[in-house]
């Protein structure tokens, strides 16, 4: 009969990104926590008091670093430093490859690392988004292989899907109900009790790991499908010649109308997770229809925006090749530095194929990371545009960062400039088109 000691738990958080760092900081207020990341630069920046994800409260981070009261947080890139830990929480990315298939390499490598230090009665909890069955069918065999231990006899597993919403300062980690699960009833109770010590919004103990995995997968698939519906409406209403947001405002007067808006669907969750669910379905012989059709609609919205802008430019008499455009925003959502799976890149690439010279400005994005990932040189600041008297033939508001509302469009436009607003936040009198 397995036994777990909550009081003397020592936690290792594997992966210190958007999910792992806030989790490590919160647990470190009550437990001894080792934050592990293979990227030494990431550890160095955190030790210097800087978080490039902007997810952690720096004052809280500094408060839990190297405490001497039995709790606290330390960072490491050495697996040897994890040997004293009893709970391992995996928060590494789970992306898709170029063929939209799950890329489990980060997850399986994290499992290898843990397997090398795993001891009897240790618990491994996965938070990374996966398809139902992944923990027990893909990760557990790796843990067994590298530890020499037997699952549910020597070590145990749990699954508690992350629900972090990057850039959201209201619904933060502790304020979002946490789904928990475990590989046995006893470990399920332990995992639930563990998260209850930090999650003020409460926990929900799922009946199995597969159920918990599936719950996360459908959360984002549901949102993706709902957005794809209004995006398809935007395509239809564009052909009809009416404004989608006007239609949604009218329909929204009914009490049970779901108020989704059209837009670019990127990021590491909504634009990725449906493919994990579809992959599992296909492996069992079922070809999902609704999930993948929604993905196809959303994946093409960036190209639609670029083509719509070009058509509007032609109507205003512009020669497209050699014209100049400014894209405002490159991150996948507002007031957030995360550039993963940003659909703004589709707008950029499509316009460049038309021969348009495209500038991109985003005060939240990391210049070096954008260059490395997308080979785009960001404009450093809007003042430089003003100073150089740059006038654009087209401006696309792609991300509704708060600071963009302060831009003086009169200084960077002419009467022939096309302004396209993908977020429907600009004054309608100055825009030529919007989603």
Q: Which residues are catalytic?
A: 269
For residue 205, what are the β-bridge partners? Answer: 180
Query: Dmax of the chain from CA atoms?
Result: 78
- Cα–chain center distance at 83: 30
Total residues belonging to the chain:
435
Output the CA torsion sign for 401, 405, 407, 412.
positive
- Cα–chain center distance at 418: 31
Tokens representing 40 are 């030494």
Which residues, 6+ apart, have CB-to-CB distance to 2 below 8 Å? 121, 156, 184, 186, 187
156-159 β-sheet, strand order:
72-76, 32-36, 10-14, 87-90, 123-126, 156-159
Number of H helices, E strands in the chain: 15, 13
- Rounded to the nearest 10°, the torsion over CA 231, 237, 239, 240 is 170
Tokens representing 180 are 């928990």
> Are the C-beta atoms of 43 and 16 separated by less than 8 Å?
yes
Between helix 290-299 and helix 301-315 the angle, nearest 10°, is 40
CA geometry: angle 10, 92, 70, nearest 5 deg:
15
Helices (H), 300-430: 301-315, 344-353, 367-374, 382-387
Output the CA torsion sign for 417, 421, 424, 426.
negative
Tokens representing 372 are 């490395």
CA distances from residue 347 to 49, 150, 408, 420 in whole angstroms, order as listed: 35, 50, 23, 12
Q: Are strands 324-328 and 203-205 parallel, antiparallel or unpaired?
A: unpaired
> Are the C-beta atoms of 36 and 21 separated by less than 8 Å?
no
Q: Is 100 left (phi over 0), alpha (psi -120 to 50) or beta?
A: left
């Amino acid at each position: 009969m397995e036994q777990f000691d909550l009081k003397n738990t020592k936690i290792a958080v594997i992966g210190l990104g958007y999910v792992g760092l806030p989790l490590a900081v919160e647990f470190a207020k009550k437990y001894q926590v080792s934050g592990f990341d293979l990227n030494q630069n990431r550890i160095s920046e955190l030790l210097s008091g800087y978080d490039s994800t902007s997810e952690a409260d720096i004052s809280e981070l500094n408060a839990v670093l190297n405490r001497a009261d039995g709790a606290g947080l330390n960072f490491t890139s050495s697996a040897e430093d994890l040997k004293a830990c009893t709970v391992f929480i995996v928060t590494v990315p789970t992306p898709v490859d170029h063929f939209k298939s799950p890329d489990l390499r980060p997850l399986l490598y994290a499992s290898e690392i843990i397997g090398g230090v795993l001891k009897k009665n240790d618990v491994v909890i996965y938070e990374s988004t996966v398809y139902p069955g992944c923990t027990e069918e893909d990760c557990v065999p790796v843990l067994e292989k590298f530890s020499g231990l037997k699952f549910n006899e020597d070590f145990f597993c749990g699954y508690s899907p992350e629900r972090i919403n990057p850039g959201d300062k209201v619904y933060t980690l502790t304020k979002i109900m946490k789904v928990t699960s475990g590989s046995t009833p006893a470990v399920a109770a332990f995992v639930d009790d563990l998260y209850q010590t930090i999650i003020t919004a409460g926990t929900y103990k799922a009946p199995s790991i597969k159920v918990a995995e599936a719950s996360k997968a459908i959360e984002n698939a549901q949102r993706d499908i709902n957005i794809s519906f209004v995006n398809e409406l935007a395509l239809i209403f564009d052909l009809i010649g009416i404004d989608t947001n006007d239609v949604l405002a009218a329909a929204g007067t009914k009490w049970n109308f779901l108020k989704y808006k059209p837009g670019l669907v990127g990021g590491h969750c909504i634009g990725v997770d449906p493919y994990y669910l579809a992959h599992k379905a296909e492996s069992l012989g079922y070809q999902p229809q609704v999930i993948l059709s929604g993905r196809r609609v959303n994946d093409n919205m960036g190209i639609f925006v670029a083509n719509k802008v070009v058509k509007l430019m032609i109507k205003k008499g512009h020669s497209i090749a050699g014209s100049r455009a400014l894209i405002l925003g490159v991150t996948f959502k507002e007031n957030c530095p995360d550039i993963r799976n940003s659909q703004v890149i589709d707008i950029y690439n499509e316009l460049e194929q038309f021969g348009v010279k495209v500038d991109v400005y985003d005060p939240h994005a990391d210049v070096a990371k954008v260059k490395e990932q997308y080979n785009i040189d960001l404009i450093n600041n809007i003042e430089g545009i003003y100073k150089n008297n740059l006038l654009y033939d087209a401006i696309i508001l792609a991300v509704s960062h708060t600071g963009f509302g302060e831009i003086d469009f009169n200084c960077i436009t002419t009467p022939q400039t096309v302004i396209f607003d993908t977020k429907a936040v600009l004054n309608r009198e100055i825009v030529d088109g919007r989603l």
